[in-house]
Every structure is written in structure tokens, then in C-alpha cells.
A and B are shown apart, each in its own frame.
Chain A
């Protein structure tokens, strides 16, 4: 919490420098509005921003949840099957380097202009992080622990469930932290391509009228949302894997 307070202090200081610099140098508001104008824009109709932010949040969480479920199932299938590892996993690693944003217009053609194509894009961008980190986690079980499971005559499913899966959790959470931010990127890209709602739509329409303060206001809300989502995943991690070395500061030692 002390770290969070300090980060907030730095942010306030940056806003202050920004405010002073814009005024002193007489920068046109259409190029760079001062923070005070951005906050005034937000305060003008907070409910309107909240409504759009809510839409973007739902789309983001939809894409993230889909990526999490599908990604974990895919990773398990890949680790359990040599054939899938050689085919699908190789393909996934390759496809990860293709800019997924480029296929966004296709989803609009396929799924229309509702929430579905945005969720689909969020899913597509986020799922790679989940699959790749989960596969890594499932495969990083120390060999003596696998020997232990065999010596206890553990079957494939029991070993997967009792050994591999918990062992992969720290890696999965690392993937989830990346994926939650990527799902937000996906949601915004989806809203850019076609939408009448969401923060992506707010940014795009404000850009059309050169309402720079509104663009910044939407970006600010997005920033807060991104940080909050990341923090939620971190909180879930702390609750789910209190035993892991990354959580050591919360665990007393004997």
C-alpha cells in the first residue's frame, strides 16, 4: 500500500508539471489540453463516461474469461497429447507473431456489430498468453515430483489434477496478468472497428470532432480500468497461491 501511495504521488506531481507547462507555453488545447480541462470534461457528465466504461469492462471481462477457459483447456490438451503439441501448439506459437488486430474487421463481418466481435477480438489477443504460460507451467513440474507421483501409482488424470495443475498455477497467473491487459486492448480495438458504445467509440468519435479533452478523459478512464483489472488478478493470485515464492512477503517463515 505504501508503494501505491508513492505511485499516486508521482502521478499527481506529473499532472502538476503538465498543467504548469501547458499554461506557461500556451499550448493549444486541441493539441494538448491541461489536466484541469480533462477533469472538467469528466466531471461534466460522469454517468455518460461510466456507461461507456461499463460496456468496455463487460466486453473485456468476456474476452478474458473466454481466453482463460479455452486457454487452460487447450494447454491441458497440448501437454497430454504429443500429436497436439507438434501440430496445434507449433501453430499457436507461430500465429502469436501475427498481428491479431489485423483480423478485427473480419470478426465484424462474421459476428455483426454487437458485443460478440469485440469479445472475440479480446479473446483472440489474450488467449495466446494463457496457452503459452499454462503449457510452460504444466511442463515445469520437477522430475522428482513426477517420480513421486509414479511411485504412488498415480494415474494420468490424478497426476494432472493433483500435481501438474497446482504446479502450473504460478505460471498461469503470470499469463493472466498479461492476458487481462491484452483483453482490454482487444475490446478497444473492437470498438474502434465498429461500435456505438464503449470507451473505444468515445475516443474515435471525439477524435472526429477534435475534442482532445474528451479523448484524454476516455484514456484516463481506460488507464484506471487497466490498473484496477491488473490489481484484481494480483489479488486473486494472492488468494489462490499463498504458498508460492512470489507471495513470500505475506507468509511468515519458521
Chain B
């Protein structure tokens, strides 16, 4: 693994407005190289906006984002992204979808092919290299998208509710596979989700957002040992984290027991 295999992120007093509408208010966050950070919040709380600002796809209204101490004005080099809908190119086979990042920077296709084969093997997609996305199931498609994000050895992986459109069982499976890939590669990951379980299961830290305008309500350190197994979700520690988050959402008025 190269010296610069994971990037550090610094978000300072980030604000983002769309027209008169405030999406993010004074968000500051520091992410260490190789850290897995879950960003959790209700729909429309600006957590995707935060991710897009870090990706350089959106310009902050004020404040600053730096990746490895370089201010982000455009998408930084070494960025891997996974979107809610897999964003696979329907006209490319699985193998060729994985070569897209290399094609865009006119890189070495042969080397990328070897790396692609390795990733496909890790995600149980061998034998589907020549399939088109239309021939795959939703979970397989999202695994291809994940492989594509990793194929060019990114220093930063940004994932925007990547498993939100999958069924519960497939989602659990994807959580396990993502954890395994992350343990093997130790990329810096920012993982946006609205699932409390998913956020705690995957994250070293869980950043909990308030409803719009998005602010950080609390940052939880998740001290569960890795590799985490799905059964950990039934354990006392996990349940304590989950009820802590649920309590935060109740305080925000997002969860109410009484009708």
C-alpha cells in the first residue's frame, strides 16, 4: 500500500444555502486518515449536502473543506464515490464499468483490470465480468458500484446512502462486505445513511445531524471491536448506542411514542 493511502478531511464552519433555504449551518468536523465515519440524520437534513461539499460537487456558501490540507474547490484527486442508485453505465459491462475511472484519467487499463478482478473476487462477482448491469440484481449492481469506487485506489471514499434502495437482507449482506473491504483497504470513509443500525454497525464514529438546517447534534464514538458480526446488533453495548441516538431524535421531535 502506498504512503498516501487514506486522506484526512477537515470541515470548518461549513454553511450551505440554496436560494434562501439553509441546508447546513456551521458544521465543523475532522476526520482522520483511515477512519470510518457514519453521518446519520433524517431525510433532508443536509447530510448529503455535506458529502457533496467534501466531494467538490457543491460549493460552500461559507466555511471551508480541506482534503489532506488542500482546500476543495473541485473534486479532489483520489476520490471514490458511491451513490444511492448505483450510477452504473448501462452500456458498459461489469468489467468495463470498473475501468471507467482509469479511462477518465487515461491510465493503464491492464493494471486496472488486475485490480478489478481482485475486487470482483472479494465481492463474489467473479463470472459476471462480461454481464451488463441490466442483467444483475440490485445488490449485485451496488457491489459493482462499490468496486468501481475502489478500483483506482482512492484516498477517500464518499458513500451517499448507498444501500438505501436495497431490501433489508441484501442491506445486511452489503454491510458485512463493506466492513470487510474497509478492513482490508483502510480507506477514509464518509458514509451517509438514515439507518441508525447501519450507522452504528459500520462507523468508528457516528455523526448525528439535526433536521434542516443541518447541524451536528452529537458525535458518538463507537467502541465496538472489529470485525463486527451482525449478532453484535443484539448486544447490550450496541443497544445502548442505538437508544442514545433514538433519544437524540426524540429530543429533536422526530420520534414520538404517543399519538
The chain A residues found within 8 Å of chain B, CB to CB, are 142, 144-145, 147-154, 158, 162-163, 166-167, 169, 241-245, 248, 251-254
Does B103 lie at the interface of the complex (its beta carbon under 8 Å from any beta carbon of A)?
yes
Main secondary structure of the interface of B (DSSP, over half): loop
Contact with A along B47-89 (1 / 0, CB 8 A): 0000010011100000000000000001101010101110101
What CA separation (Å) do A67 and B110 show in the bound complex?
A: 39
Residues on B facing A (Cβ under 8 Å): 52, 55-57, 74-75, 77, 79, 81, 83-85, 87, 89-92, 100-101, 103-105, 128, 131-137, 140, 158
> Would A254 and B85 count as touching, CB distance under 8 A?
no
Q: Which of A147, A152, A251 contacts B83 (CB 8 A)?
A: A147
Chain B residue contacts of A169, Cβ below 8 A: 91
- CB within 8 A of A162: which of B74, B75, B103? B103
Asked whether, in the complex, the Cβ of A243 is within 8 Å of the Cβ of B87, the reply is no
A153 touches B77 (CB 8 A): yes
B105 to chain A, nearest CB (A): 7
The 8 Å CB contact of B89, one of A150, A166, A251, A254, is: A166
A contact residues around B101 at 8 Å (CB): 152
CB pair B100–A162 under 8 Å, yes or no, is yes
10 smallest beta-carbon distances between A and B, as pairs = A243-B132, A144-B83, A152-B104, A144-B87, A166-B91, A151-B81, A154-B104, A253-B135, A151-B75, A148-B87
Whether B91 contacts A241 by the Cβ 8 Å rule is yes
Task: Report how far A204 CA is from B103 CA in the complex, Å.
Answer: 56
Report the Cα distance A245→B84, complex, angstroms.
Answer: 21
Q: Are A162 and B134 in contact (CB under 8 A)?
A: no
- Which residue in chain B gives the minimum CB-CB distance to A148? B87
How many angstroms between the C-alpha atoms of A151 and B85 in the bound complex? 16
| Known contacts A153-B104, A254-B128; A148 and B83 CB within 8 A of each other | yes
Give the docked Cα–Cα distance between A5 and B91 (Å). 32
Could you pull out 11 A-B pairs where Cβ atoms are within 8 angstroms? A142-B87, A147-B52, A147-B87, A150-B56, A151-B56, A151-B81, A153-B77, A162-B100, A166-B91, A167-B89, A243-B91
Contact call A158/B83, Cβ cutoff below 8 A: no
- B89 with A145: CB separation less than 8 A: yes
B76 and chain A: residue at smallest CB distance:
A153
Is there an interface contact between A252 and B90, defined as CB atoms closer than 8 Å?
Answer: no
Question: CB distance A147 to B57 under 8 Å?
Answer: yes
**Are A145 and B87 CB-contacts (below 8 A) given A245-B134, A248-B134, A254-B131?**
yes
Residues of chain B within 8 A of A167, CB atoms compared = 89, 91
B157 to chain A: closest CB distance in Å?
11
Residue in A closest to B137 when the chains form the complex, CB atoms: A254
**Which of these, B75, B85, B100, B132, contacts A150 with CB under 8 Å?**
B75
In the complex, which residues of chain B have a beta carbon less than 8 angstroms from the beta carbon of A152?
Answer: 75, 79, 100-101, 104-105
Kindly list chain B residues whose C-beta atoms are within 8 Å of the C-beta of A144: 83-85, 87
| A162 adjacent to B87 (CB under 8 Å) | no
Q: Is B90's CB under 8 angstroms from A244's CB?
A: yes
Q: Give the CA-CA distance A241 to B89 in the complex, in Å.
A: 12
B18 to chain A, nearest CB (A): 15
Please name the residue on chain A nearest to B86 by beta carbon: A144
Contact check: which of B81, B131, B135, B136 meets A148 at CB < 8 Å? Answer: B81
Q: Residue A251 contacts which of B77, B84, B135 (CB distance < 8 angstroms)?
A: B135
Q: How far is the CA of A169 from the CA of B136 in the complex (A)?
A: 21
Which A residues touch B55, using CB under 8 A? 147, 151
A16, B79: Cα distance in complex, Å:
69
B87 surroundings in chain A (CB, below 8 A) = 142, 144-145, 147-148
Q: A148-B87, A149-B104, A153-B75 are in contact. Are A253 and B81 (CB under 8 A)?
A: no
Instruction: With CB as the reference atom, state the residue of chain A lying closest to B75.
Output: A151
Please judge, given known A-B contacts A153-B104, A243-B132, whether A163 and B83 are in contact too, CB under 8 Å: no
* CB <8 Å contact, A254 and B77: no
Minimal beta-carbon separation of A93 from chain B (angstroms): 28
Evaluate contact between A158 and B81: CB separation under 8 angstroms. Answer: no
Q: Within the complex, what minimum Cβ distance (angstroms) separates A241 from chain B?
A: 7
Q: Determine whether the beta carbon of A243 is less than 8 Å from that of B90.
A: yes
What residues on B are CB-neighbors of A163 within 8 Å? 89
Q: Are B104 and A162 within 8 A (Cβ)?
A: yes
Asked whether A253 and B77 contact (CB < 8 A) given A144-B85, A153-B105, the answer is no
CA distance A145 to B87 in the complex (A): 5
Q: How far is the CA of A148 from the CA of B85 in the complex (A)?
A: 11
B122: shortest Cβ distance to chain A, in Å? 19
The CA of A149 and the CA of B104, in the complex, are separated in Å by 8
CA–CA, A245 and B55, complex, Å: 31
Chain A proximity of B161: nearest CB distance (Å): 11
